[in-house]
Amino acid sequence: MARWQPGATQRLVVAAVDLFTEQGYDATTVAQIAERAGVTKSTFFRHFSDKRELLVAGQETLSRLLADGIAEAPADAGPLQAVAAGLERASSVMGPANRELGPRLKAAIAASTELQERDALKSVGLAAAMTSALVARGVPDPVAHLAGELGVLAFKRGYAQWSESDRDDTEEFAPYALAALEDLRRATAALG
């Protein structure tokens, strides 16, 4: 096995999601994931502490990009405008591989309670990153929390729509996330 080939993290994630979908999360072993990805088991453990952690690959990067986009939004931007800037910044790391993985990842998560729990923790982490960035901009805590949660919902809804859309459509992720955020903004206005 060529351990020096680039892209081991991405190959491990794709291999795991495929195996989780094919045979279930519980039936999939780290050894199987490593073999499918073309790496050794020790290489797997250099990238991830266990197979649950495959689901949150890139979470730190995504959280940082969301927070950076919010921090760099224009000073007069409202909370949701700042969240939109964060979503745009985060979209820079969402490429064709992320789009392809979406439907398979959704199926794997739906089939495993453990993966559903890990996905929920990922959402909490993303919301916390956005909330902290908004508070640092001077947004009051309750408003920052609500805007952060709406940002996560927009990210998830946008990602689902983007990953399930026509593959011939070359549109990037950002317009999907921003449209989802606008839909949520209108929905909150309807709450009265």
Nearest to residue 179, comparing CAs of 158, 162, 159?
A: 158
Q: Sorting pLDDT into bands at 50, 70 and 90, what band is 3?
A: very low
**Mean pLDDT score across all residues of the chain:** 90
The per-residue pLDDT for 6 is: 61
Cβ–Cβ < 8 Å for 25, 115: yes
- Summarised one tens digit per residue, pLDDT across range 54-103 is 877 778 889 999 999 999 999 999 999 999 999 999 998 888 888 888 88
Is residue 5 over pLDDT 60? no
Which alpha helices (H) appear in 91-140, and where do they start and end?
Answer: 96-110, 113-136
Instruction: Identify which of 4-13, 23-32, 167-176 has the greatest average pLDDT.
Output: 23-32
Q: Sorting pLDDT into bands at 50, 70 and 90, what band is 2?
A: very low
SS3 22: helix
Q: How many C-alpha atoms does 162 have within 13 Å on its Cβ side? A: 27
Write down how long the chain is.
192
Q: Is the dihedral of CA 118, 93, 23, 44 positive or negative?
A: negative
Spacing of C-alpha 101 from chain mean position = 11
What is the pLDDT averaged over residues 111-135? Answer: 93
DSSP letter for each residue of 141-152: HHHHHHHHHHHH
Q: Over pLDDT 70: what percentage of the chain?
A: 95
The per-residue pLDDT for 4 is: 46
- Summarised one tens digit per residue, pLDDT across range 148-160 is 999 999 999 999 9
The per-residue pLDDT for 186 is: 95
Is residue 168 over pLDDT 80? no
Instruction: Identify which of 13-22, 106-115, 141-150 has the greatest average pLDDT.
Output: 141-150
